[in-house]
Amino acid sequence: MNDVAAIINSTLLLIGQSATYCAKKNILKEIFETLIETYLKDKVGISDLFLNQYLSEQLRTNLISLHDNRDMVYAGTGNKDIILKDTTVRSDKIYWLDRNHNNLHEDAFFDVMDEFVRYLNETCFTGITHYEFHYALYEKGCFYKRHLDRFRNDDSRLFSMITYLNPEWKTGDGGELNIYHDDGNTQKISPNAGKSVFFKSDELEHEVLETMMPRMSITGWLRK
């Protein structure tokens, strides 16, 4: 009987794990569909719940620790062949994410991105082969002037993606992502924790408005 009970318990555990896995997959699918549907509507995909609260908080803690340890550096403009650092254009600090860091929460973020890229390629035939992401910190008074994300000498960036790590962001805190649409209208997006924004890197000029509070995100590009 003990052997039978052990088999039953093991089977129930596997069923429970399978159900949990399926539930997570379904949640991710809903999030991904929200990003795609909103993108198809006006060229800007938005999901308010791309990251759960726990992962968002842990990534925010990572970023703060990196800043405290002075590991973050002022960002430049241009690609690896042409890098210009001009704080009158861009004044944020960055640190690149990498699986080689063996950081539990960075890896969890990459796992979500792997699922999203797989879903995009299977459903939208986007041809994405890899990605790159960095932490970004805009301290009080920082900004990033109007720009386009694709370089003139490098067309490998297909989509831009920003995921925010700012709990309790309020109107008046500034730091909105301001997107310039082709029809002349602008769209301001607040950087609330867990929210992700997704758009083509060569289509929409955008800027980060001056922030009144420290503004944290993970920013990156899906590449071909």
Instruction: Establish if 20 belongs to a structural domain.
Output: no
Instruction: Establish if 24 belongs to a structural domain.
Output: no
Q: In this predicted model, which residue has the larger pLDDT, 121 or 23? A: 121
Helices (H), the chain: 2-42, 53-68, 104-124
So what's the pLDDT on residue 151? 75
Q: pTM for the complete prediction?
A: 0.86
Distance separating alpha carbons of residues 107 and 113, to the nearest angstrom: 10
Q: Over 60: is that where the pLDDT of 65 sits?
A: yes
Q: How many domains does the chain have?
A: 1
185-222 residue pLDDT tens: 999 999 999 999 999 999 999 999 999 999 999 999 99
Instruction: Establish if 18 belongs to a structural domain.
Output: no
154: containing domain: 30-223
Residue of 148, 149, 142 lying closest to 91 (CA atoms): 142
So what's the pLDDT on residue 1? 47
Strands (E), 144-204: 144-147, 157-164, 177-180, 186-189, 196-200
Distance separating alpha carbons of residues 119 and 106, to the nearest angstrom: 20
Instruction: Establish if 36 belongs to a structural domain.
Output: yes
Length of the chain in terms of residues written? 224
Instruction: Establish if 3 belongs to a structural domain.
Output: no
As a whole number, the mean pLDDT across the chain is: 89
Instruction: Establish if 49 belongs to a structural domain.
Output: yes
Instruction: Establish if 201 belongs to a structural domain.
Output: yes
Distance separating alpha carbons of residues 14 and 183, to the nearest angstrom: 53
Average pLDDT over residues 130-148: 97
CATH number of the CATH domain containing 146 = 2.60.120.620
Q: In this predicted model, which residue has the larger pLDDT, 185 or 8? A: 185
Is the sign of the CA dihedral 20, 135, 77, 173 positive or negative?
A: positive
Q: In this predicted model, which residue has the larger pLDDT, 16 or 53? A: 53
Instruction: Establish if 2 belongs to a structural domain.
Output: no
Residue type, 126: T
